[in-house]
A and B are shown apart, each in its own frame.
Chain A
Amino acid sequence: MDVMSQLRRQLLEHTAFLRKEGFLDDQFEQLQKLQDENSPDFVVEVVSIFFEDSEKLLNNMAKALEQKIVDFKQVDAHVHQFKGSSASIGAMRVKNVCIEFRNYCEAQNVEECFRCMQKLQYEYVLLKNQLEYLFRVEQQIRAAGG
């Protein structure tokens, strides 16, 4: 049981850290609340979907921005989607970048959009790593019988 409590502590600490750093906000907590006996893997499921969508979106964004004549509307649409998804899981930093990105899209500033996209990619990767780590810990806890 010492392992359990240690693992739990680890989980809590990490979650707190993520929150402190702004990676996650309250929405993530809400997601965690939704996890119950009926849907024990709810968070994981949602986050998995998020990862899938995000990668798709990022690819689309990149493709759109690489066009000679950038279709900002489309880019904006993608970013909007990304923003929505990230907001839904509580990925605050990602969301904020999306907001910024959208402004540049509106301004039709290609350079800035590019920069935002990169930033987005960066943040996304960060988050993904953090979440994956989180899930590993959770898995361990579950494996240990918690």
Chain B
Amino acid sequence: MMESCNCIEPQWPADELLMKYQYISDFFIALAYFSIPLELIYFVKKSAVFPYRWVLVQFGAFIVLCGATHLINLWTFTTHSRTVAIVMTAAKVLTAVVSCATALMLVHIIPDLLSVKTREVFLKNKAAELDREMGLIRTQEETGRHVRMLTHEIRSTLDRHTILKTTLVELGRTLALEECALWMPTRTGLELQLSYTLRQQNPVGHSVPIHLPVINQVFSSNRAVKISPNCPVARLRPLAGKHMPGEVVAVRVPLLHLSNFQINDWPELSTKRYALMVLMLPSDSARQWHVHELELVEVVADQVAVALSHAAILEESMRARDLLMEQNVALDLARREAETAIRARNDFLAVMNHEMRTPMHAIIALSSLLQETELTPEQRLMVETILKSSNLLATLINDVLDLSRLEDGSLQLDIGTFNLHSVFKEVLNLIKPVASVKKLLVTLTLAQDLPVYAVGDEKRLMQTILNVVGNAVKFSKEGSISITAFVAKSESLRDSRAQDFFLVPSDNHFYLRVQVKDTGSGISPQDIPKLFTKFSQTQSQATTNSGGSGLGLAICKRFVNLMEGHIWLESEGLGKGCIATFIVKLGIPEQSNESKLPFVPKVPANHGQTNFLGLKVLVMDDNGVSRTVTKGLLMHLGCDVTSVSSSEECLRAVSHEHQVVFVDVCAPGIDGYELAVGIREKFSKRHEKPLIVALAGNTDKVTKENCMRVGINGVILKPVSVDKMRSILSELLEHRVLYEAI
């Protein structure tokens, strides 16, 4: 019989073919179902950011169970045991549970997944936007960098051309311009001339009038202004027809002058000249001028202005320096030439001085010697003339030398203490012979308050006085010459012509004023200014041929100036005489020179030299008694006395050994004065001339003047005591003068 089996039989007996197909399909389904989770696991593992793991697990479980179901289904095609059926049922139940859970789960998950997608799109957009902005910022930063570099380039040079060229080049590079041009105003200021371009090497000299409206528009604002590509300043190249020209921008560049730089006022208002900078974008590029590019252009334009003005300043100062250097060189050359000339002149003078003086000395010396010998009167006359002429020539040589040294400024005064009164006396001595020949009366008046001693250049003062007095004598044919000397006070100057000369009184200086009046030929007023110029002679001088080189007064003037004084001449006209006046500044000797104070007649007995031992003296007195007395007196003092009783004897006896000659001037038969003159003339050299003392019966003014006139060094009143004689001799030998104050 048939046993009852636990096997489950299918519902209907299956067809074999259908069953086979089902069998295969189930198998594949199971396979697929099992492989999907594997794939899922694999990719999830790979992704690492999948947020819904739990869902995956669920899904995996669902699929696995489905697969299991289908797998188990494979056994149900044939008779299968109960176990299989149970397993199958279990699997199905599980599958059902899981799939329901999954389905429920998906309700939550799918909206989430969708929103993720939305966010993704949003973020992408944002990223794109940020990218764009980033690009912009970078561009701006680059622009800024360009500006800095441009400025640096522009300011790194002080050469105008380099500045402008660099500007154009850098601008062109930074902004990628097609063309960049600079138009400068011409000298007249009425036109703009094309001066620099970027692409063209040598810009052709285009020029446009400055008063075009577009130019005015650009110049009136400090911003970069867009202009039409068709306007004259923008049309630099011939239009190529098809090309669409790029946008053009123009900006003004102020041209500043040195004077424009005020501290507080940036030259907005004060500058008048502008250059025009034109910038063209590449044609056909469809590029537009961006704001930052315009700003860049403006900044650059300003910088260029500053750089140009610096360059201008530099140019100016370089030019000035070059000019100065040139002048320096020229001056140096001139100075060296002048020095050479002066040296040459000095050399010449020194040589000529020596060369001229040597023969002069010979002539003078030998003529003097000749004079000493036995000569016939004609011969003597000739020799005397030779001597006079050579003395004159020697004086002339000295004058010329002095004058040139005076002009150099190399002459300096020999300052020393000297007897002022004796200077005048000496001058008088020198001039009296000449004056007496012309029968001119010469008088000397020394003021009471005139110091006897002064500090100054004795030799040159004497030269000056002598010159002035000499002129007076020279130009007077008859009449008198009066010399007055006194201390000048400020009041006394007002009446004279020395208005531009001021006395500066001080404690240790005084002003000596000497006036020489003559009754000679006078000077016409128009000649007076010329008097002190060297080598000039007035008409009257030239015609009368009175000799002289015309140097005397010029030298006097210079001496007087050196002595801080003033000299001038006054004359009422021709034939009306002349008054020459000069004032010089002399020092007052210090009190320590008390011992050399003015000669006081009553001097204590032991004053001065008391021993005149061996002093050779000659006494001329026709009165035997007084002769003897005088001789005794002098012998008592130790002198070696020779006494004579007549003029002839005196002249014969007098020699260069006699230091003092006492001459009686009161003797009626003998002209003592003439004798004095004779004695002086016998000795030409100054140091050989003996001192001549007149013994007179009275010492009134007339006697004194007469004595001074002939060059007598002193006058003594007869009779004379021992002490008096002693003091007289000592005074005489010390100072070579013996006049008491008048």
Q: With A76-B668, A90-B719 as given contacts, are A81 and B635 in contact (CB-CB < 8 Å)?
A: no
User: Considering the complex, which residues of chain B in the window 397-422 have a beta carbon less than 8 Å from any beta carbon of chain A?
Assistant: none
Cα distance A36–B630 when bound, in Å? 15
The number of inter-chain residue pairs (CB within 8 angstroms) is 77
Residue of A27, A38, A53 touching B623 (CB-CB under 8 A): A53
Task: Give the distance to chain B from A49, nearest Cβ to Cβ, in Å.
Answer: 5
A49–B624 CB distance below 8 A: yes
Find chain A residues with CB under 8 A from B632 CB. Answer: 31, 34, 39, 42, 46
Task: Give the distance to chain B from A15, nearest Cβ to Cβ, in Å.
Answer: 17
Residue of B629, B669, B697 touching A46 (CB-CB under 8 A): B629
Find chain B residues with CB under 8 A from A68 CB. Answer: none
Find chain A residues with CB under 8 A from B633 CB. Answer: 30, 34
Cα distance A27–B697 when bound, in Å? 14
Cα distance A31–B628 when bound, in Å? 11
B668–A89 CB distance below 8 A: no
Select from chain A the residue with minimum beta-carbon distance to B634. Answer: A34
Cβ proximity bits A86-117 to B, threshold 8 Å, 1 near / 0 not: 11111000000000000000000000000000
B625–A27 CB distance below 8 A: no
Cβ proximity bits B608-620 to A, threshold 8 Å, 1 near / 0 not: 0000000000000
- Chain B CB within 8 A of A84 CB: yes
A53–B624 CB distance below 8 A: yes
Cα distance A110–B579 when bound, in Å? 50
- Chain B CB within 8 A of A135 CB: no
Find chain B residues with CB under 8 A from A36 CB. Answer: 636
- Chain A CB within 8 A of B524 CB: no
A88–B626 CB distance below 8 A: yes
Find chain B residues with CB under 8 A from A42 CB. Answer: 632
Interface of A is mostly: helix
Residue of B622, B625, B668 touching A88 (CB-CB under 8 A): B625
B697–A53 CB distance below 8 A: no
- Chain B CB within 8 A of A26 CB: yes
Cα distance A81–B628 when bound, in Å? 14
Give the B interface residue count (CB, 8 A): 22
B636–A88 CB distance below 8 A: no
B669–A88 CB distance below 8 A: no
Interface core residue of A50, A85, A88 (most chain B CB under 10 Å): A88
- Chain A CB within 8 A of B721 CB: yes
Task: Give the distance to chain A from B43, nearest Cβ to Cβ, in Å.
Answer: 169
- Chain B CB within 8 A of A125 CB: no
Cβ proximity bits A55-94 to B, threshold 8 Å, 1 near / 0 not: 0000000000000000001001100110111111110000
- Chain B CB within 8 A of A132 CB: no
Q: With A39-B635, A53-B623 as given contacts, are A87 and B719 in contact (CB-CB < 8 Å)?
A: yes
- Chain B CB within 8 A of A45 CB: yes
Cα distance A83–B667 when bound, in Å? 11
Q: With A36-B636, A38-B635, A39-B632 as given contacts, are A84 and B668 in contact (CB-CB < 8 Å)?
A: no
Find chain B residues with CB under 8 A from A142 CB. Answer: none
Cα distance A50–B719 when bound, in Å? 14
Residue of A30, A50, A73, A84 touching B721 (CB-CB under 8 A): A30
Interface core residue of A26, A34, A52 (most chain B CB under 10 Å): A34
Find chain A residues with CB under 8 A from B667 CB. Answer: 80-81, 84
B718–A87 CB distance below 8 A: yes
Find chain B residues with CB under 8 A from A27 CB. Answer: 719, 721
Select from chain B the residue with minimum beta-carbon distance to A33. Answer: B722
Cβ proximity bits B654-671 to A, threshold 8 Å, 1 near / 0 not: 000000000010111100
Find chain B residues with CB under 8 A from A89 CB. Answer: 625, 629
Interface core residue of B629, B636, B668, B718 (most chain A CB under 10 Å): B629
Select from chain A the residue with minimum beta-carbon distance to B721. Answer: A30
Cα distance A120–B630 when bound, in Å? 24
Task: Give the distance to chain B from A25, nearest Cβ to Cβ, in Å.
Answer: 9
Cβ proximity bits B484-509 to A, threshold 8 Å, 1 near / 0 not: 00000000000000000000000000
Find chain A residues with CB under 8 A from B666 CB. Answer: 80, 84
Task: Give the distance to chain B from A50, nearest Cβ to Cβ, in Å.
Answer: 5
Cβ proximity bits B715-733 to A, threshold 8 Å, 1 near / 0 not: 0001101100000000000
Select from chain A the residue with minimum beta-carbon distance to B669. Answer: A77
B625–A34 CB distance below 8 A: no
User: Considering the complex, which residues of chain B in the window 632-680 have a beta carbon less than 8 Å from any beta carbon of chain A?
Assistant: 632-633, 635-636, 664, 666-669
Select from chain B the residue with minimum beta-carbon distance to A52. Answer: B624
A81–B623 CB distance below 8 A: yes
Select from chain B the residue with minimum beta-carbon distance to A91. Answer: B625
Interface core residue of A46, A50, A84 (most chain B CB under 10 Å): A84
Residue of A38, A76, A83, A88 touching B629 (CB-CB under 8 A): A88
Task: Give the distance to chain B from A37, nearest Cβ to Cβ, in Å.
Answer: 11
Select from chain B the residue with minimum beta-carbon distance to A84. Answer: B623
Select from chain B the residue with minimum beta-carbon distance to A42. Answer: B632
A30–B719 CB distance below 8 A: yes
Cα distance A73–B626 when bound, in Å? 21
Find chain A residues with CB under 8 A from B626 CB. Answer: 84-85, 87-88
B629–A31 CB distance below 8 A: yes
Cα distance A30–B291 when bound, in Å? 132
A46–B625 CB distance below 8 A: yes
Give 13 new A-B contacts, CB below 8 A, not counting A80-B668, A80-B697: A30-B719, A33-B636, A34-B629, A46-B628, A46-B629, A73-B668, A76-B668, A77-B668, A88-B623, A88-B629, A88-B630, A88-B718, A89-B629
A sample of 20 cross-chain residue pairs with beta-carbon separation below 8 angstroms, ordered by A number, consists of A26-B721, A34-B722, A39-B635, A46-B629, A53-B623, A53-B625, A73-B668, A77-B668, A80-B668, A81-B622, A81-B623, A81-B668, A84-B667, A84-B718, A85-B623, A85-B625, A87-B626, A88-B628, A88-B718, A89-B625
7 closest pairs, A vs B, by CB?
A85-B625, A88-B626, A77-B668, A88-B629, A84-B623, A27-B719, A50-B625
User: Which of B's residues lie within 8 Å of A, judged by CB?
Assistant: 622-626, 628-630, 632-633, 635-636, 664, 666-669, 697, 718-719, 721-722
